[in-house]
Structure 1
């Protein structure tokens, strides 16, 4: 095992990207020297799973770079990577009902500037920033452009791309934008997709790639599982949710499908009463879903009245769909667990980006990587 290479983690949350960093390659291991977040519960989760990582809980806007480096026993220029995803709420479609978010006036959007500040003052060899796809929308053009310009002025030559997690062997149709830059100014090359299938946008399947990993492949063997408090979908739309077939949503109960004619066409968000299709990857797991927002599991369970009810995904199922280890421990309530996982980066997607960057920086020998077998095939068959 080589010398561990230090990493600074910002907006760390529960540690999805941190797991990717420390698990990307055994021959040249990275270590998260220091991690910071304002969410105490999420940082408690990270500390429980990364006992050797120093943590700093606080607002990044009032956290000095020197304080972070000192906490991790690092000096300027020593971190190999700065990684992290500023809170995605300002750029998420789920927040567009707020006028200030539609008009890109959310004050939390300034956290991008603090990410740049820490890169500027810590001078890592490279950085990885991730966020929701919404950051790239025209609504946020000014902020995204300022981010890229600022990082360019630092000499890092940032490259960005929206990646679909399912394209890289994650059983989830989750899109995230990654921005990657190198201190030496050489452009980062994003890794090619390893899997193919049809999504909500694309119906063309590449037969030369591995098929998408389905929800059933990764969580089917968890059934019947252990029930969790509050998992059944009750209330106003409880019966309607139970009648929605796998892969369908509230539109099943419109005049165009076979359910009850209750909802007008396209009158709700797509995720309303959405059920998992076991034969396909999951849709995006949300951090703070409403009471009737899915994806819900494809199976029904009896309610207190004996009638069938849809159920919410359980924590072990969410861990699998986010490609977290089964043994990963989440601190807090079930709602805390969903929020922490819904805000996280799918671990295997993060690994693909981190591994590619470390190869291009020369820390991982690409010949050795090829000799280990194709990583995508390893993931596919380990989840099957």
Structure 2
């Protein structure tokens, strides 16, 4: 089959979400042709920011044919420059692995989104394919997620005489100027056999000995100018643990109050999720923004409150002009599920440079600049008396696959 070339460097995104990856790719100079997204709230966010956006008539990937996708994007088979997306990743999440490490992830019905992505890839045969997912897709006991993807690329090549060579890399977004430590797997495959080379880190942590690189962008760089008391009432912490947070130092979580750290032994070591009572440190990048906010789920502000939507968006490198539809919880979920736009920009520029042979800039427009103003650490307070009855000789978590959730699942 004679494959066509696309001079416009257009892309189709599947599982577009609130548009983080799309925004980054477009900032890099690629042209959005079609977005396929099933969630109504995300659709409204996409339309809110781009009133003329081309959304697929059927957002459910299970109900739309590849021929319909090509028709709506106005491309023929083999003509598309880039197919990109991050299929929903619940079967490969850290929490799923921690509870049930021996289960096959591909046997989970929620993994069918990955199957559908590869179905569309086979039918469209784009010049480049970009897949984003959680790191768990690469460390399950059978490595079944990655094995499936590589197996599908092999089948695509056999059916169509193509030469896709998928290259996989785990990127820490902080290494590229995103003010957030967020590790995700990216797979990029070029149809003509070119092996994509992922960019080297451009920033370093404080304890790195690489003097040539600037330090990580920090939470203070991203949201220091929003450090105001005007949010005090709207974003006040709620629930059972609200009054305990002020006793935890910046950059720490509930583990501070265990026998192994400097607080009181109120909890057992690793008996709760890492994000429980997790507080930002001004001089470091944020911890990973999650998609499931809870009463005591971090990262939380160093002033002992929830982060505002704008603060969350900045930590993900969305520009201030970008808006999100829905309630606070719905907006938080969209941001937490996003690919940071700056990473989309980074990879989009590299795809244009390596694959499409264009001269492109190296700098990223979506990362924050270093903030020169100094910042003081917020002092901690004493543990309120109502929590003192929790002081005890607590047991540690027994290990992967041995916690209460895993035991309950087995029964």
2:363 pairs with 1:375: yes
Match of 1:233 among 233, 237, 246: 237
The CA distance in 2 between the partners of 1:3 and 1:148, in whole Å, is: 28
1:357 aligned residue: 351
Does the 8 Å contact 1:90/1:101 carry over to 2?
no
| Displacement after TM superposition at 1:58 (Å) | 2.7
Aligned-partner SS, 2:201: coil
| Displacement after TM superposition at 1:114 (Å) | 1.1
The CA distance in 2 between the partners of 1:282 and 1:382, in whole Å, is: 14
The CA distance in 1 between the partners of 2:235 and 2:93, in whole Å, is: 25
2:67 pairs with 1:73: no
2:212 pairs with 1:208: yes
1:287-298 → structure 2 map (5 Å cutoff): 287-298=291-302
Match of 2:327 among 322, 327, 333: 333
| Displacement after TM superposition at 1:255 (Å) | 2.8
The CA distance in 2 between the partners of 1:72 and 1:156, in whole Å, is: 22
2:186 pairs with 1:173: no
Shifted more, 268-277 versus 45-54: the winner is 45-54
Does the 8 Å contact 1:91/1:101 carry over to 2?
no
Does the 8 Å contact 2:278/2:297 carry over to 1?
yes
2:196 pairs with 1:195: no
The CA distance in 1 between the partners of 2:366 and 2:111, in whole Å, is: 38
Q: For the structure 1 residues 205 and 271, does the alpha-carbon distance in structure 2 shift closer, same or farther, using more than 3 Å as the test? A: farther
Aligned-partner SS, 1:54: coil
1:314 aligned residue: 308
1:83-232 → structure 2 map (5 Å cutoff): 83-96=84-97, 99=100, 102-104=103-105, 105-139=107-141, 141-154=143-156, 155-197=163-205, 203-224=207-228, 226-227=230-231, 231-232=235-236
1:245 aligned residue: 249
The CA distance in 1 between the partners of 2:143 and 2:232, in whole Å, is: 42
RMSD of aligned Cα (Å): 2.3
The CA distance in 2 between the partners of 1:379 and 1:44, in whole Å, is: 25
Match of 2:275 among 254, 264, 271: 271
| Displacement after TM superposition at 1:323 (Å) | 0.3
The answer to which structure, 1 or 2, has the higher relative contact order (CA under 8 A, 6+ apart) is 2
1:7-86 → structure 2 map (5 Å cutoff): 7-24=11-28, 29-56=29-56, 57-86=58-87
The CA distance in 1 between the partners of 2:370 and 2:289, in whole Å, is: 22
The CA distance in 1 between the partners of 2:123 and 2:232, in whole Å, is: 45
The CA distance in 2 between the partners of 1:91 and 1:383, in whole Å, is: 36
The CA distance in 1 between the partners of 2:73 and 2:111, in whole Å, is: 26
The CA distance in 2 between the partners of 1:211 and 1:126, in whole Å, is: 32
The CA distance in 1 between the partners of 2:260 and 2:145, in whole Å, is: 41
Does the 8 Å contact 1:217/1:383 carry over to 2?
yes
The CA distance in 2 between the partners of 1:110 and 1:98, in whole Å, is: 21
Does the 8 Å contact 1:254/1:262 carry over to 2?
yes
Q: How many residues were matched structurally?
A: 359
1:116-146 per-residue CA deviation (whole Å, 9 max, x = no partner) reads 1111111111111101111111336122111
2:384 aligned residue: none
The CA distance in 2 between the partners of 1:120 and 1:377, in whole Å, is: 33
| Displacement after TM superposition at 1:234 (Å) | 2.3
Does the 8 Å contact 1:77/1:125 carry over to 2?
yes
The CA distance in 2 between the partners of 1:228 and 1:313, in whole Å, is: 10
Q: For the structure 1 residues 342 and 223, does the alpha-carbon distance in structure 2 shift closer, same or farther, using more than 3 Å as the test? A: same
Unaligned runs of 5+ in 2: 1-5, 157-162, 373-411
TM-score by length of 2: 0.82
1:33-82 per-residue CA deviation (whole Å, 9 max, x = no partner) reads 11011211112111221223211243212210111111222222221100
Q: For the structure 1 residues 140 and 281, does the alpha-carbon distance in structure 2 shift closer, same or farther, using more than 3 Å as the test? A: farther
Does the 8 Å contact 2:10/2:30 carry over to 1?
yes
Does the 8 Å contact 2:104/2:144 carry over to 1?
no
Shifted more, 330-339 versus 102-111: the winner is 102-111
Q: For the structure 1 residues 225 and 189, does the alpha-carbon distance in structure 2 shift closer, same or farther, using more than 3 Å as the test? A: farther
1:75-106 per-residue CA deviation (whole Å, 9 max, x = no partner) reads 22221100000012221113346659954232
Normalized per residue, the structure richer in strand is 1
Q: For the structure 1 residues 329 and 212, does the alpha-carbon distance in structure 2 shift closer, same or farther, using more than 3 Å as the test? A: same
| Displacement after TM superposition at 1:376 (Å) | 5.5
